[in-house]
Amino acid sequence: MDYYYATPLALFLAWTLAQGFTLLLALTTNRSRRKLPPGPSPLPIIGNLHLLGNQPHRSLAKLADFHGPIMRLKLGQTTAVVISSSDMAKQVLQKQGSAFSNRPVPNSVHVDNYHVSSVVWLPASRPQWKNLRKILNNYIFSVSKLDASQHFRYKKIEELVVYCQRSSQMGEAVDIGGTIFRTLLNLLSNILFSKDLADPYENSGKEFKELVEGLLLGLGKIDLADYFPVLKIVDPQGKRRYNSCLRKLLKLFRELVNERLELRKSQNDQKTDIIEALITASEQSPQEIDVKNIPSICLVLSVFQDVFVAGTDTSSNVMEWAMAEILKAPEVMKKAQAELAEVIGEGKAIEEADILRLPYLQCIIKETYRLHPPAPFLVPREAGEDVEVCGYTVPKGSKLMVNVWAIGRDATLWEDPLVFNPDRFMDSKMDVRGQDFELIPFGAGRRICPGLPLAVRMVPVMLGTLLNTFKWKIEGDVAPKDLDMQDKFGLTLARLRPLRAVPLPL
């Protein structure tokens, strides 16, 4: 028995000493051969992990103020390079994007080998990744497909208005984030499966929202197994068990796919949703689409930032932040409502084609993306080889982290960067589609979020509808200037406390 317990301890001590020696050797040799990016001095074993804190986006932004826009950190056994300026982001995402096109796979997403069929985590050089990306672009996010699904979006927005009208009549506050999430969830589920997954009056989407939020929050937190690979065997933080929600979501989508396959056997009338299109494509071109992988495709659509439900989760966060900023600045609400009344007509429905005629509404959304990007960091990239970036060597295997939160608050780019001021975009052609690196909430380059085309249609229409149908008041006796604007860190950047507001008649 003593030997049983002593052997792991001895192995751990030996590994610790070996790592300490390796770190010391790395710090004292070969420095003259290559110029590494600057960064804080690491501690033995843990490196710079202690510097991240509970809000790494803020901690790393402060460190970048001292060490510069390209900064090296030692996180356990891994090397991370943090990008904190628009110029550096353009360099690594566009000019040298091919060298950083792959992504390190987190320990937690090894659940059920999910990562091997995910467009998010597959290497961009793999034919499977290219095929999945083609499916997303052709069957879901193409202009023709989005145009064809407009009626779904308008229907769900009408249901949102009815729900808010009921709350208005009863004088009750609306949970902005939760309500928007359910609306977008049902929009997604109808586009995918022609059915609702949530009832706003029964709060039935709450469990699904908690699953998605829990997964994204968990993925955003530090997992020691990602920084000390030897620990993957024991999974010290239980991340795989924690991400049992991943299995639950996969099970849900697998059941929906199987349900559709059974319906197709017994019914002649076919749906016009995405799952039908994928099944049909699988029958016509089995070499391109394997019907067995459709649940995995749907799971990707439902969970991560750069596909459908991630777009739903992040879009609900952006909507909640936008409403919070508007409620905190009543003059912004008045100006937006005046524009809507003049261009659309007070209380009238807004269509996607109207958005180009609403420049101030667009400015509000851009300013929200600047201050509150859907994710504080873009999904990390990985250097496939030693890469020279602006005179520095980024070592092979380094994790590349782009801090879009810091870029959006860079005082060298933005006047009064902490102030919510939509007018800063009024005379600017800057856009969020990945060409203006001062504002890249969806990323840039070949791995830009494929759900961007839906987000840029849906968010303005939903926000404009809420502002053109109701006046809004913060719940309780909270003064606008006292509204809590704290965030909580995860893969997405949500509000620490949900926003609750009362819709009032115009």
pLDDT score recorded for residue 490: 78
- Mean pLDDT is highest, among 32-41, 58-67, 106-115, 301-310, for 58-67
pLDDT score recorded for residue 277: 76
Q: What is the dihedral of CA 473, 474, 479, 485, to 10 degrees?
A: -130
Is residue 177 within 8 A of residue 316, CB to CB? The reply is yes
Superfamily of domain 34-505: Cytochrome P450 (1.10.630.10)
Who's near 172: CB < 8 A, 6+ residues apart? 502
Helix (H, G, I), strand (E, B) or coil at 54: coil
The structure's pTM equals 0.87
Confidence band (pLDDT; 50, 70, 90) for 428?
very high
Q: What are the pLDDT digits (tens) for 485-505?
A: 999 987 788 999 999 999 999
- Concatenate the DSSP letters of all residues of 240-259 into one string: HHHTHHHHHHHHHHHHHHHH
Q: What are the pLDDT digits (tens) for 111-159?
A: 666 677 777 888 888 887 887 788 788 878 889 989 988 988 999 999 9
Would the pLDDT of 411 be above 90? yes
Give the range among 13-17, 143-147, 162-166, 167-171 with minimum mean pLDDT: 13-17
Would the pLDDT of 398 be above 90? yes
Is residue 473 within 8 A of residue 504, CB to CB? The reply is yes
Confidence band (pLDDT; 50, 70, 90) for 253?
confident
Q: Where are the domains of the chain?
A: 34-505
pLDDT score recorded for residue 242: 55
164 annotated as a binding-site residue:
no
The tokens of 294 are what?
């459709």
- Concatenate the DSSP letters of all residues of 286-325 into one string: TTT--GGGHHHHHHHHHHSTTSHHHHHHHHHHHHHHHHHH
pLDDT score recorded for residue 300: 42
Confidence band (pLDDT; 50, 70, 90) for 6?
very low
Q: Higher model confidence: residue 284 or residue 342?
A: 342
Q: What are the pLDDT digits (tens) for 200-247?
A: 776 656 666 677 766 666 666 677 888 888 787 776 666 665 566 777
Would the pLDDT of 378 be above 90? yes
